[in-house]
Chains A and B, each alone.
Chain A
Amino acid sequence: MHNEISDEILSAYIDNELDAAERARLLERLTSDAALGGRACELWRLKQMLRGAYPLLPEKSALAGRRFAPPRWTQALAASLLLLLGATSGWVAHERAESEDIFMRQLEAIRHDGGRVVLHLFSDEPARMEAALHMAEQLAQAQDQAGKPLRVEFVANGPGLHLLRVGGSPYADRVAHLNQYANLRVIACHEAMQRLQERGLDVTLLPSVEIAPSAEGELAERLTQGWRYIQA
């Protein structure tokens, strides 16, 4: 992985299919290679656009007489993809830093871009959850260039939603303690909640966790507003 990173590898990265070693190597490159970050960002947005083009209908019977509308954020994503191709803003990737150096470089990038960052968790691996929490705590205590606290959103969906569930989170106390940071919002994806409920799980969220209609929508909105993105 010294030179060109293939689209297959980037696809595997955004689909959460790389093993730990491959992921770590790619994350190093993504941190320092803006063009590569742009390619990854473009693939991610493409994935979200496709999801937005085929919204899930709750009941088949609703098909006959009703037309459905795609999520509102599809348009924002499309604008990003179609008009800002090649833009590299917004993409930072991170796994629990082996060294503080990586975190500091990312923090500098966040400060440079206005001090706003959205942290995304899409995994129920305990190590990933812990890394995300650690990151959230560090970001919440950091300051922007003007000395003000960063604005941080911590969004969980897919398997990552378990972190925010009463009775399902291995780090419930730490999640609860995040509410001490006024500059940090913890947000659960409503679509992911519904999917867990369909499987018969009780989805009661930990205190102070907010709900967004969809994680993709929330992330898309923040990215188009110029927030930095960190995938935990």
Chain B
Amino acid sequence: MSLLSFFGRSRQFENLLAENRSRMWRLAYAWCHSRHMADDIVQEALTKALRQHDQLRDPAALRGWLYSILFNCWHDQLRERKDLTDIDTVDEAELPDHASPDSDYEQNEIVRRVRCEVARLPAGQREVITLVDLEECAYAEVATILDIPIGTVMSRLSRARAALRDKLREPPAKSATFYQLKA
């Protein structure tokens, strides 16, 4: 029996959660870069959402509400595990197969490099840039989700983009050590 079916009190609410599940997983993965941890964070967040669904007054606010819960679950994990910001926690299981053609291999290397540099960002910057770029959240929405001032959203985003830009300007060899991903 699925978690959603087990806890579900409202079929409509279950459906709404299910529709958002893929996006929540992608966001959690972009924060923690671990497939298994992303699974855990999303499961926990969905469970909390089902338990607290009475708190959601405005259905239009569902996305931000879910991301706030996801963010809290992610930070619970951060508090429990201090090693999460280390680059070797990036999980290469989510990268394409290396046995693919050369062009795919090169492309995979680029994706791997971008992910590694995102993983190296401070968590606060990583959270902001992924909410803005992956989920297309407005700055005000990000401020609400993360419970920070909008000015902080802008400064974190700007610093994150500057850091990524500078790192990706470097020749690949300079950051080759960061490709040592967890087996």
Contacts and interface: CB of A to CB of B under 8 A. Distances in A.
| A and B: interacting chains | yes
Interface of A: 6-8, 11-12, 15, 17, 42-43, 46-47, 49-54, 56-60, 63, 67-70, 72, 74-75, 78, 81-82, 85, 158, 198
A7 B162 contact: yes
Contact of B161 (A7, A54, A67, A158): A7
Nearest to A81: B168
A59 B110 contact: no
Nearest to A71: B107
Contacts of A69: 96, 100, 104, 107
A69 B111 CA distance: 9
B161 A11 contact: yes
Contact of A59 (B22, B30, B157): B22
B154 A75 contact: no
B146 interface: no
Top 5 nearest A-B pairs by Cβ distance?
A: A53-B114, A78-B110, A8-B158, A75-B107, A7-B158
Contacts of B161: 7, 11, 43, 46-47
A50 B22 contact: no
B46 to A, nearest CB: 11
Given A51-B134, A60-B21, A46 B158 contact: no
A198 B63 CA distance: 13
Contact of B164 (A12, A50, A67): A50
Contact of A67 (B95, B136, B158): B95
A82 B168 contact: yes
B13 to A, nearest CB: 15
A46 B165 contact: yes
Given A46-B168, A68-B94, A70-B96, A53 B115 contact: yes
B139 A17 contact: yes
17 contacts: A8-B158, A11-B154, A11-B157, A11-B158, A15-B132, A47-B161, A53-B110, A53-B111, A54-B130, A58-B22, A68-B94, A69-B96, A69-B100, A70-B96, A74-B111, A75-B107, A75-B110
Contacts of B168: 46, 49, 81-82
Contacts of A85: 169
Contacts of B155: 8
A35 to B, nearest CB: 15
Given A51-B133, A58-B22, A67-B94, A8 B154 contact: yes
Given A12-B139, A49-B114, A68-B96, A57 B25 contact: yes
B11 to A, nearest CB: 15
B26 A56 contact: yes
B76 interface: no
Interface string B99-127: 01001101110110011001000000000
Contact of B133 (A47, A67, A82, A198): A47
A59 B42 CA distance: 13
B169 A82 contact: yes
A58 B25 CA distance: 11
B165 A15 contact: no
Interface in B137-172: 138-139, 154-155, 157-158, 161-162, 164-165, 168-169
Contact of B107 (A15, A57, A74, A198): A74
B23 interface: yes
B165 to A, nearest CB: 6
A91 B100 CA distance: 34
A70 B133 contact: no
A228 B10 CA distance: 50
B29 interface: yes
Contact of B25 (A42, A60, A74, A198): A60
A50 B103 CA distance: 19
